[in-house]
Structure 1
Amino acid sequence: MTNERSEPELLSYQGSSPKPADFDKYWERALAELDAQSLDYELVPAEFRSELAECFHLYFTGVGGARVHCKYVRPRMKGAERGRGLVMFHGYACDSGDWMEKVAYAAHGFSVLAMDCRGQGGLSEDNLAVQGTTIRGHIIRGIDDPDPDNLYYRNVFLDTAQTARILMSMPEVDPARVGAYGCSQGGALTVVCAALEPLIAAALPVYPFLSDYKRAWELNITTSAYEELNYYFRFFDPHHLREEEIFNRLGLIDIQNLAGRIQGKVLWVTGLMDSICPPSTQFAAYNKITAPKELLVYHEYGHEYLPYLADKALRMFMEL
């Protein structure tokens, strides 16, 4: 894509957006709130049926009291030992997806828990009340609220860790063999989940969103997943008097600032022609990972279907 860096430059790029001085304390406080959450959940048999797997709607109460929905699929034939687990996260404004992709993993012995993000295309509740604009995107939801705990993605990020902890608590799942997987927004949440729940053994983020917001804005991308940043400045700060303040606040929910916490192994997937989540924003996070990591580059591909990736993902998670 135009205005992007060369591949060698990408591999050394450390990001443009700031890391707030209180970032670590912010997330320590958030995780303390999460630790107080119950891991209780409700299972409701799903309308979808499979001879290979049992399918359920799973509900839990997230931080702030929101009712969070997941799809849960587990093998019908359970072994004597606890098996592998996989948490899945979906793209922006979508939902947890079809049952069939989870059944394919269940057929290989996985128990799969796929989370719906609050207030997007699935069944999870968004009960967040914030001051300021609540339209044209979730990145800016809560950005003008006096309390930074009211940023929309703070609670969604915590939901990812709670989802992983619930899966790890299940009697059929070995907590030491749980992976995380997602694309775009789901790729970002995969990074976050592995950062906030260090027991995640393997993570596969695919062209992740929610990274290096200032760089996305500098690229002047008004038709990408980051278009709401342009919208916000256009209507609420056209003279950019609050630019530094805004990007500092967004740094609290920037995945590049969480990536260094990951402890499990990572297979990071990116397309160098991505105009939706620009490669430099992705590399800002990838380059901060200190855990064992591997980069899989699709040179002629963007934010789209990537051939052979599903096969590579299964092979990776089968190694758990």
Structure 2
Amino acid sequence: MPLVDMPLERLVKYEGRNPRPADFDPYWDRALAEMKAVDPQMELIPSEFQVPFAECFDLYFTGVRGARIHAKYVRPKNAPGKHPAVVQFHGYSGNAGDWHDKLVYAALGFSIASMDCRGQGGKSEDTGGVKGTTQHGHIIRGLDDHPDNLLFRHIFLDTAQLASIVMGMPEVDPERVGAFGGSQGGALSIACAALEPRIKRLAPVYPFLCDYRRVWEMDLANNAYAELKTFFRHFDPQHKREEEIFTKLGYIDLQYLVSRIRGEVMMGVGLMDQVCPPSTQFAAYNKITSPKTVEIYPDFGHEGLPGFPDKTVQFMLGL
């Protein structure tokens, strides 16, 4: 079998390369305290798009640092009682997408919320406010500022805040909520379940934002990770700050958040992935301590994994 990374027998044992900050846990405890102190001022506004069997809403809430975050929210009509829900997250630079793919879950009796990441392709705000460059991406935003100002810190918190809002909906059973998404969406489903451990099931696909140093060492700081190369070339061309930079990125490295997950995990991985290398994904997967399975696609890269969306629906039906 051709390889772009380690053979599978090494992947399942790989523990990651990126440094973990010494104060990682206090960092995230402090972040969660900031999030919980925010009044979300949630709004549900009926959408122009409606269907006979479900209600569709634009949902807005206030996240950390005052940003108004948008999500599409769909709930089934005439549900007999509290029902399960899922939260959905999109790929890097994208948005919540059209309404039609949410209707599958509504037809099955689920509510679903699909978040627009702040500052990306949807309606969520980016309130900015960091020192240093913001050129070519969100991973590097805040690298020259205090770690509490890293943009992905705020985005990770948005996912947990959205899940908590959904769990508080009168129609939703808070003990039956799942999360899913691909690439950045896979990363955010992991962050969501780590920071809101009531998430019962999560189905991430080739998650982004894992093991940054490994990406760099594989010379794959291209595509979604290209901003790492841009940052070094412009702001640290001799890599004198390399250890500092990768350590700061460790605050938003999902391999160190996954130990907080309590829900069941089903992850999809393509072994030919050159955007989010398999080893970086396994760096996170191998640290998950809750029940977990991985669906392997040996000949597939960072692309649709045939059958995995159907597996995800079946998996969520177990909520």
Give TM-score scaled by structure 2 length: 0.98
Rounded to whole Å, the distance in 1 between the matches of 2:190 and 2:221 is 25
- How far apart in 2 are the matches of 1:253 and 1:313? 26
- Secondary structure of 2:174's counterpart equals strand
Shift of 1:37: 2.2
Residue in 2 aligned with 1:215? 214
- Indicate the SS of the match to 1:251: helix
The residue type equivalent to 1:291 in the other structure is S
In structure 2, what residue type is equivalent to 1:235? H
Paired residue for 2:170? 171
For residues 84-233 of structure 1, the aligned pairs below 5 Å read 84-145=84-145, 147-233=146-232
Number of equivalenced pairs = 318
Give the drift of 1:305: 1.1
- Is 2:215–2:221's contact at 8 Å kept on the other side of the alignment? no
- Structure 1 position 51 matched with structure 2 position 60: no
Residue identity matched to 1:270: V
Task: Report 1:6-45 matches (<5 A).
Answer: 6-45=7-46
Name the amino acid aligned to 1:27: W
Corresponding residue SS for 2:224: coil
Residue 224 of structure 1 deviates from its aligned partner by 2.7
> What's the Cα RMSD here?
1.0
Letter in 1 for 2:176: R
**Alpha-carbon distance between aligned partners in 1 of 2:28 and 2:120, rounded to the nearest angstrom:** 24
Displacement of 1:222 in angstroms is: 4.0
Distance 2:35 2:62 in 1: 11
Q: Give me the TM-score of the superposition, normalised by structure 1.
A: 0.98
Whole-Å separation in 2 of the counterparts to 1:274 and 1:164: 29
- 1:221 to partner: Cα distance: 1.4
- Hey, which bits of structure 1, 4+ residues long, moved more than 4 A? none
Q: Distance in 2 between matches of 1:193 and 1:215?
A: 23
Paired with 1:251 and 1:148, the residues of 2 have a C-alpha distance of 10
Match status 1:257 vs 2:259: no
Distance in 1 (CA, whole Å) between partners of 2:246 and 2:187 is: 18
Q: Is the 1:3–1:219 Cα contact (8 Å) retained in structure 2? A: no
* Paired amino acid for 1:91: G
Residue 301 of structure 1 is matched in structure 2 by 300
Distance in 1 of aligned mates of 2:299 and 2:273:
9
CA distance in 1, matches of 2:210, 2:49: 35
Shift of 1:3: 5.1
Residue ranges of structure 2 left out of the alignment (5+ in a row): none
Shift of 1:135: 1.5
Of 20-29 and 44-53, the range deviating more from structure 2: 44-53
| Distance in 2 separating the partners of 1:39 and 1:230 | 36
- Offset at residue 276 of structure 1 (A): 0.8
**Is the Cα–Cα contact under 8 Å of residues 4 and 271 in structure 2 kept in the other structure?**
no
Q: Does 2:268 correspond to 1:283?
A: no
What is the one-letter code of the residue matched to 2:129?
A
CA distance in 2, matches of 1:269, 1:89: 15
Cα distance, 1:2 vs. partner?
A: 5.3
The answer to whether the 8 Å contact 2:64/2:154 transfers is yes
Cα distance between partner residues in 2 of 1:248 and 1:116: 28
What code does the residue aligned with 2:313 have? L
How far apart are 1:14 and its partner, in Å?
0.3
User: In structure 1, how many angstroms separate the alpha carbons of the residues matched to 2:18 and 2:302?
Assistant: 22
User: What percentage of aligned pairs have identical amino acids?
Assistant: 58
Which of 42-51 and 9-18 deviates more?
42-51
In the other structure, the counterpart of 2:242 is 243
